[in-house]
Structure 1
Amino acid sequence: MNERLRKRIKERLEAERGTIYKDAPVRVTLAYPNTYAVAMASLGFQVVYRMFNAEPEFACERAFLEDAEYVRKGELPTYESGRRAGDCHIFGISVAFELDLVNIVRLLEAAGLEPFRDRRDAQDPVVIIGGPLTSSNPHPLRPFADVILIGDGEETVPALAEAWRNASSKTEFLDLIEGLPGVFLPDREERDPRWATARVDCLPVYSQIITPNTELPSMFLIEVERGCPRPCTFCLARVMYGPTRNADPERVLAVVPDGVEKVGLIGAALSDYPHVKYVGHKLLERGVKLAVSSIRADRVDHELAWILKEGGLRTFTIAADGPSQRLRELLKKQIKLEHLYKAARIARDLKFKGLKLYQMIGLPTETDDDITEMIEFTKELAEITPVALGISPFVPKRHTPHFNDRFAGIRVIEARLKRIQKELRKLRPRVEVRNTSAKWAWIEAVIARGGPEVGRAAYLLKDRESFSAWKTALREVGWHDPRTLPDPPEETERLELRVV
């Protein structure tokens, strides 16, 4: 192993609390197609790590694509023992984001595995892919995975482990899990399976490892609710995670270890969790700082905001999601201007640094008038408290009413972003505007609604990924979707087609 990488892994392990070191007959690699810092901020990644290690005869170790740059192809190491990541019985990948699709190809090659399922044989590990992306759209992953898990890992991981113990071969293992909730076998099935849905007594789930070397430094994460009671049409939370399940507050408090300095509460609609204030007060009494994943503007009051401020929150974060009241009603967002103004006044009264406001543009039926309304109410909010406006292009997703809506178009989105920046620039520093790329939102939209051909296109990009290269690769594999046109036309590079 490269000495620089060896030193980095050693330092990261020494900084961790909760690492599991285990030797067992069944070796599992749990890999993440991005950096260590991003992976260790993923509660789902950590929970699956703990669950596999809790199974008799199973030992699970972690690997991260980030480390591939320090080793030769095929020699990506695991953290716990330093063995080759591909030297295992089960190679699991947890993927959260559409834009990590190409990284999955890179990860498999870094571990010494053929990316394409049909090029591997019975002696290779079973490649299992799970995570939020598989619930959103598993089909671009079909060329690569032997098994795709859809839904809650609390239900699928024990079932997989039991089947493995009872199987005498890779084929028999697949036979035993075929048809189970949440199990999708790409070489045998075309349609998504029933999603696996965990029982409420599986909650809360919580961090296994605490580390300062993550996007959420030294934070102990707890998921206190799963599912969402809200009807927002653009969001997958209600569909992906099933009915709303709320963890018992005493169980939430009981899982927080002694010595933890900061707790992050997680839930799709955390402010709808009926015990959020009770849990918040109890953690403050223990001297624990507090962070939250999301707060809805229509549920904010001074008491909840005070808890968050006392817990260390400095900027108050909410989402409008629609630039106008008309569009928020179209999205069934249930947020009105009065809710946004109230949140701004609370942020001012409690002396938060300001308001962070998430917004989407490029929505169905959106016009310049909707953008005008957003600009005007942002100005009004800025008179109350400083505003950091975070803007993302709208990406239609499967399993939502917007599945067949057109992507607004790169030119349209870029023109509206330019207008917003120009008209709000004069209000700096009271207003800061940050936005994500319209071009990469287009790629995200392609992956979010694409099929196996999009996965084959991703394979062509493993050595050089760019917006232009994506368009060329999609053309090479015969992709076509009139809902997501490749706009604007650009000079594209020629990629040799290496997929059959």
Structure 2
Amino acid sequence: MTGKYQDKVIIKNIISSETAFTPVKTIGSVPVNVSLVYPNTYSIGMSNLGFHSIFFQINSREDALCHRAFLSLKNSYPCEINTLEADKPINEYDIIGFSISFEMDYINIIKILETMKIPVFSQDRQTPLIMVGGPAATFNPEPLAPFVDFFVVGEGEEVIHEIMGKYKELKNREKQEILEALAQIEGVYVPSFYDIEYDREGNVQNITTTSLAPRQIKKRWVRDINKYDTESVILTPYTEFKDMFLIEISRGCGRNCRFCMAGYCYRVPRYRSMDKILERSEFGLKYKGKIGLVGAAVSDYPFIDELAEKFVENGIKFSVSSLRADTLREPLMMGLAYSGHKTLTVAPEAGSNRLRKIINKGITDEHVINAVKLAYQYSIENVKLYYIIGLPGETEDDIDEMIDFLTFLKDYMKALGNKRGNLTISINPFIPKPFTPFQWLGMESVGVLNERIKLIQNRLKPKGIKVIFESPRLSEIQSALSRGNRQTGLLLYDIYKSGARTSAFNKAEIDGKGIKYYAHRQLRKNDVLPWDHINLGLKKEYFISEYNRAIKGEATARCTDEKCKVCKICQHK
């Protein structure tokens, strides 16, 4: 069984296995038809609550429909990218919307457009309109700008309704007129209305508008997340979370970790009410045996202890997407143990306390030790720790301190009586991100990162500590795309046309500049940044101030409420 027939069988099997909480509409039965595409596998896409949320919001309208599509369904790439709900090619829809969370998926957008014989470059295309949203589109849309008609900057639950309404009104007009109207919606970025000038070094020199588009695109964000049930809209057995009903417990993070793009892009932190979470949990338990709580730091949720106790009282088992070692307490740990958790997962991030001060992590070795002890008291024996290497200011001494601490921690686990528990370390190279205090810095060299990973492996393996890591070479590509500009997008297109092999990434250049240049370049504080026309509500002076505090190892207090004066975003929202 091959080709289109095999694809249709896979689609039929997936659809028959799903439980959906939104009605399916027939393409062409409403004025606005959207194919929402996740440019990766079905399993990854259907684990993304943002994808679920936009799918639901569009389908909640009487005048619009949304059908889903994916680059890959089940371990193979389809001959055509067809929607699951209608088994129709995505180019038969008015708008193709891509949800982007990871830089490595950028090239998949090009692949999908070419596979469906849709002109890749926006300037060569009349229909359908290409819309892109998600975290990557918010912090730096520029590498995708040559291919995209418009971006949604920020959170989409409210702005998507304005987009649908405006498109319905102007559907039969010329593309230029439609885009001009969409550009007037706050949070919508139409890249063709902005001219980018470059200097001799290939850096952005100036950004100007060529239409009625605003000089800066202001991020959209949902002030009251209780208005929207951001949760599993479709249940499927083909994801990592197949046994859970997912519920967003909070949005944004105010911890001010200086390496973390999400903490700045989705500020101000907001929390869903406990009553709402309990209500939606009762609904989810009709279909799944466990609730998955999703948030940037679930243990930072103000009522997490009370919520955990309520869950246990009501016989509700749950899982969490993230924890912080400094906010773990007995009620939450008891609830996790009751729910069958076998592994404590926390992220010290940096190898030494000195480095954690630089990145403003706010976690000490003692926090990790106490978390491990508390977990073992509730029979959670396995421990997994996430670390970043190549952080600004990192030296071999920091790596040695990390190795010494992990060796101690393994012995400490045994001293507690934990003879069977595994200690696993996950290492990721530092990737500088836009809209962080480290946005001007280049990534550490691949050679140095490989040496440090090898050192960590060689010294921890004899201790029985498992080390897993992300390839520094892949991280280098992510780094180039993360802080890239439109030239980087053209470079990515050339790489795709050359087969997207490792050799293509190594050799491709535009004006003598390739992936290595964009990944490791240092930017000056007075440079025009490729994303300077995106307004997240935080001023550049704030990031410079935070960079200077990082160099001094000074702490910055976490966001507490709208009266704090740390970043002053609340005064400008």
State TM-score, norm by structure 2.
Answer: 0.80
Note the C-alpha offset of 1:287: 3.5
Between the aligned residues of both structures, percent identity stands at 33
Note the C-alpha offset of 1:310: 1.1
Note the C-alpha offset of 1:467: 3.3
Count residues with an aligned counterpart.
480
Note the C-alpha offset of 1:86: 1.1
Match of 2:223 in 1: 199
- The 1:315–1:30 alpha-carbon spacing in structure 2 relative to 1, beyond 3 Å, is same
Which amino acid in the other structure matches residue 319 of structure 1?
A
Distance 2:519 2:430 in 1: 12
Larger mean CA deviation between 434-443 and 274-283 belongs to 274-283
Match of 1:447 in 2: 481
Give the 3-state SS of the residue equivalent to 1:127 in structure 2: strand
- The 1:109–1:299 alpha-carbon spacing in structure 2 relative to 1, beyond 3 Å, is same
Distance 1:485 1:272 in 2: 34
- The 1:403–1:182 alpha-carbon spacing in structure 2 relative to 1, beyond 3 Å, is same
Q: Is the 8 A contact 2:258 2:359 kept in 1?
A: yes
Which amino acid in the other structure matches residue 472 of structure 1?
K
Aligned runs of 1:311-322 on 2, under 5 Å? 311-322=339-350
Distance 1:103 1:215 in 2: 21
Distance 2:235 2:309 in 1: 23
Match of 2:528 in 1: none
Q: Match for 2:183 among 178, 184, 194? A: 178
The Cα offsets for residues 397-441 of structure 1, whole Å up to 9 and x where unpaired, read as: 00001011121110000000000000001012xx11101001111
- The 1:418–1:192 alpha-carbon spacing in structure 2 relative to 1, beyond 3 Å, is farther
State TM-score, norm by structure 1.
Answer: 0.92
Give the 3-state SS of the residue equivalent to 1:287 in structure 2: coil
Distance 1:441 1:243 in 2: 28
Distance 1:57 1:477 in 2: 49
Give the 3-state SS of the residue equivalent to 1:426 in structure 2: helix
Give the 3-state SS of the residue equivalent to 1:397 in structure 2: coil
Which amino acid in the other structure matches residue 255 of structure 2?
R
- The 1:253–1:116 alpha-carbon spacing in structure 2 relative to 1, beyond 3 Å, is same
Match of 1:40 in 2: 46
Residue segments in structure 2 that go unaligned for 5+ positions in a row: 195-206, 208-214, 414-421, 522-573
Match of 2:251 in 1: 226
Larger mean CA deviation between 223-232 and 276-285 belongs to 276-285
Note the C-alpha offset of 1:160: 0.3
Q: Match for 1:62 among 65, 68, 78? A: 68
Distance 1:477 1:54 in 2: 49
Give the 3-state SS of the residue equivalent to 1:358 in structure 2: strand
> What's the C-alpha RMSD, in Å, of the aligned pairs?
1.9
Which amino acid in the other structure matches residue 360 of structure 2?
K
Which amino acid in the other structure matches residue 41 of structure 2?
T
Whether 1:109 and 2:109 are equivalent positions in the alignment is no
Whether 1:211 and 2:236 are equivalent positions in the alignment is yes
Distance 2:257 2:347 in 1: 12
Aligned runs of 1:86-485 on 2, under 5 Å? 86-121=91-126, 124-167=127-170, 168-169=172-173, 170-189=175-194, 190=207, 193-200=217-224, 201-256=226-281, 257=283, 258-385=286-413, 386-428=422-464, 431-462=465-496, 464-475=499-510, 478-479=513-514, 484-485=519-520
Note the C-alpha offset of 1:392: 0.3
Q: Is the 8 A contact 1:182 1:196 kept in 2?
A: yes
Give the 3-state SS of the residue equivalent to 2:157 in structure 1: helix
Give the 3-state SS of the residue equivalent to 2:427 in structure 1: strand
Note the C-alpha offset of 1:277: 2.4
Which amino acid in the other structure matches residue 117 of structure 1?
S
- Of structures 1 and 2, the one scoring higher in RCO (CA 8 A, sep 6+) is 2
Which amino acid in the other structure matches residue 343 of structure 1?
A
The Cα offsets for residues 153-212 of structure 1, whole Å up to 9 and x where unpaired, read as: 112211101111221423333222213222110101357611101121335411101111
Whether 1:3 and 2:5 are equivalent positions in the alignment is yes
Note the C-alpha offset of 1:136: 2.3
Q: Match for 1:81 among 80, 86, 92? A: 86
Once superposed, which parts of structure 1, at least 4 consecutive aligned residues long, lie more than 6 Å away? none
Note the C-alpha offset of 1:396: 0.4
Q: Is the 8 A contact 1:34 1:66 kept in 2?
A: yes
Q: Is the 8 A contact 1:140 1:450 kept in 2?
A: yes
Note the C-alpha offset of 1:77: 1.1
